[in-house]
Each structure stands twice: as C-alpha cells, then as structure tokens.
Amino acid sequence: MIIVLKPDATKEQIDHIVEKLKGFGLQIHMSKGEERTIIGVIGDERVLANQPLEVFPGVEKVMPILQPFKLVSREFKKENTVIEFDNGVKIGGKRIHVMAGPCAVEEKELLIQIAEDVKAAGATFIRGGAFKPRTSPYAFQGLGPEGLKFLSEAKKKTGLLVITEVMDPRDIELILQYTDIIQIGARNMQNFRLLTDVGGYEKPVLLKRGLSATIKELLMSAEYIMSKGNTKVMLCERGIRTFETYTRNTLDLSAVPVIKKLSHLPVIVDPSHGVGKWDLVAPMAKAAIAAGADGLIIEVHPNPEEAFSDGEQSLKPKVFKELMKELRLVAQAVGREL
C-alpha cells in the first residue's frame, strides 16, 4: 500500500508511522517528492487489517497498490525514474542514450577501436560481454576478468561508460569494479538469487526480458531487485520467442508503451537481439525511439564475419554512424534529444 503524507507532516509524525509499520514486520520505502512524502509499504499487509492508518497524525490518505509489482509500479511513483551517472549522463530524461559495441569483448585493440568509433558516432556507453551466456558449452564463453580490464581501458581512452553482463552472483563484486551498468541477460531474468544479490548494491542494472517472459514477469523480476534496495533499474525489451522464424526473435515494441504505462522505470530497446539480422536493426531502432524508448543497446563490430559471436546482427561502424544520424531526426520528431 501507499501512505500519502500531508504536506506539513512533521518528522516525529513520520517516524511514529514508520516505527509502527516496522513493528508489524513490514518493509518501508520512503519517496520524498517536491511537495510531499509517500511511504510505500511492502509485505503481507493483512497484519494491518485492524489498524486504521488514516487516523495517524500526518497521514492524508492510504491507498492499496493493485498491481503485484509495487516499487516498480507507476502507482507507487508517478514521475519517471531518471538514473544519473558520474559523468552527468542521465537515462530516463529527455535525452536518449545509445549503448554500442561488440557482442563479446575480443581483443583489446579491437575493443578500443570500436569504442572510439561508436563514441564518434554519438554513443554514450560501450557494451561488450566478458562473461557470455552461450547455448553451447563449446562456444566462446568470453574472456572473463581480462575482458573486464579491456572494457576499463576503452573507458579510459574514450570516456564512454561501460555496460557488461553478470551471469553468476559470485562474479558481482568483480564486475562492479569495472562497469557502470550491470546487465542481467535474458537467460537470467528469473535467476532470483542473482536478482536478489544485485539488489543489494547501488549500481544501475539493465534487466533484459526473458526469452519467453511476459511483461508482468519482467516487472516482477525488477521488483526482486528493487525490493532489496537498488532503485536504479532499467528494463530492456530484446525480443521474445514466437512462432516466427524469419527473425531471431520477435521484437515486441508494444512492450515499450505498456511498460511506460505500468512502471516509472526507464526502458531500453535492443534491436540487435530483437531481430538477429543486421539489416533489420536500423528500422527497428528508429521504431523503438518513436515508440518511446529511453535508450538503445546495439551490437557493432568492424568485421562481422569474424566476430566471436552475433556477427550476423552486428552493424559495421560506418552503418552505425549513419543510423545515429537518422535516429537523431526521429528523436527530434518525438520531442526527444539524442
């Protein structure tokens, strides 16, 4: 439930309510807005059946949250969440941000070259997996810790922020030292232990939609992270499995406005995994911005034929640069910046 406090509620009154709720074993999430404070109450609310919270001094009204996801919901927080990074980049505001780079981190010089190219084209993040979730145990699994170091060097050289995937709770502490966003991949969207552990840090998280996950399941997974205290969550539409086989996945762009309606969290679209073919990436990237996405994550590789993974969906830097120009126009047309 949500407890809306009166604009003039005193600290003593607020503390009193919080103490009472904690006494019932409930979790409290305070949201201090410009005009008033809202208390989000999480837990089994049946314990409050005989507690008329409305009569507590300082309380204006008490409202149930009807959705199964609470902290994630727009009912809980009306304004869009904006996630700010050290260098001033903000995701979730007017400006759209593009994360670009290879599927997997390969050689150091190659990664730095890609970082320089995508930066020149206007990207703000370098992407690249050091730990790769591969269908086959015999496929390239990523460079591991060495790959993380390469990402850091690319950051140092270009000033780009870093996004990279974590697959195992045991790697979180290590990856945190090298990344600005922790990516949780589609295959781990319901790895609840991983979600819970990542929720214990303040590092922003990009949570990708599972291969066959509903929007509600995606939001419930985000709730796992937020319920542990990490509020910096971005949701990523990256295509879902359908009966269609022409594309690798079916990019569900309707998820963008649906999530925007249900949640205050920023939405990022991954057209690369969404379609799986490089020549379909541009139209879907444009459509994603038109649909209201706050950012894009796009695979770029100068030599797609030789990429260790996902070459068929990777854009060459020159194509990426052209796309960025077109995306700027689409962004402008829908009242955004890029």
238 binds, among Mn ion, ligand PEP, none (CB under 5 to 8 A by kind): ligand PEP
186 binds, among Mn ion, ligand PEP, none (CB under 5 to 8 A by kind): ligand PEP
Q: Which residues contact 63 (CB under 8 A, 6 or more apart)?
A: 1, 2, 4, 75
- 186 counts as binding ligand PEP under rule CB under 6 A: yes
Q: Taking CB positions, which residue lies at the least distance from Mn ion?
A: 103
DSSP 307: -
- 241 counts as binding ligand PEP under rule CB under 6 A: no
Shortest separation between residue 167's beta carbon and ligand PEP, angstroms: 9
- Among 29, 119, 208, 301, which residue interacts with ligand PEP (rule: CB under 6 A)? 208
What would the DSSP string read from start to end of 145-180? HHHHHHHHHHHHHH--EEEEE---GGGHHHHHTT-S
Cα–Cα distance measured from residue 241 to residue 213, given in angstroms and rounded to the nearest whole number: 9
- 297 counts as binding Mn ion under rule CB under 5 A: no
Token reading at 242 = 């359908």
- 97 counts as binding ligand PEP under rule CB under 6 A: no
Size of the site for ligand PEP (CB under 6 A): 10
Token reading at 139 = 């496929």
- 165 counts as binding Mn ion under rule CB under 5 A: no
Binding mask 102-141 for ligand PEP (x = CB under 6 A): -x-------------------------x---x--------
Instruction: Find the angle CA(11)-CA(17)-CA(19) to the nearest 5 degrees.
Output: 100
Token reading at 201 = 């840090």
Distances (CA, A) of 273 to 28, 61, 123, 251, 254: 37, 45, 18, 8, 16
208 binds, among ligand PEP, Mn ion, none (CB under 5 to 8 A by kind): ligand PEP
Q: Yes or no: say if 91 and 97 are a contact pair by the CB < 8 Å rule.
A: yes
Q: What is the largest CA-CA distance in the chain?
A: 68
What would the DSSP string read from start to end of 181-211? EEEE-GGGTT-HHHHHHHTTS-S-EEEEPPT
Shortest separation between residue 80's beta carbon and ligand PEP, angstroms: 23
- 29 counts as binding ligand PEP under rule CB under 6 A: no
DSSP 304: G
- 304 counts as binding ligand PEP under rule CB under 6 A: no
- 233 counts as binding ligand PEP under rule CB under 6 A: no
Torsion over CA: 300, 304, 310, 314 (sign): positive
- 58 counts as binding ligand PEP under rule CB under 6 A: no
- Among 5, 256, 310, 320, which residue interacts with Mn ion (rule: CB under 5 A)? 310
Shortest separation between residue 299's beta carbon and Mn ion, angstroms: 6
Q: Yes or no: say if 89 and 331 are a contact pair by the CB < 8 Å rule.
A: no
- Give the binding range for Mn ion (CB under 5 A) out of 1-9, 22-30, 98-106, 144-152: 98-106
- 238 counts as binding ligand PEP under rule CB under 6 A: yes
- 103 counts as binding Mn ion under rule CB under 5 A: yes
- 301 counts as binding ligand PEP under rule CB under 6 A: no
Instruction: Find the angle CA(94)-CA(98)-CA(102) to the nearest 5 degrees.
Output: 170
Q: Using CB under 5 A, list all residues that contact Mn ion.
A: 103, 310
Q: Using CB under 6 A, list all residues that contact ligand PEP.
A: 103, 129, 133, 185-187, 208, 238, 270, 273
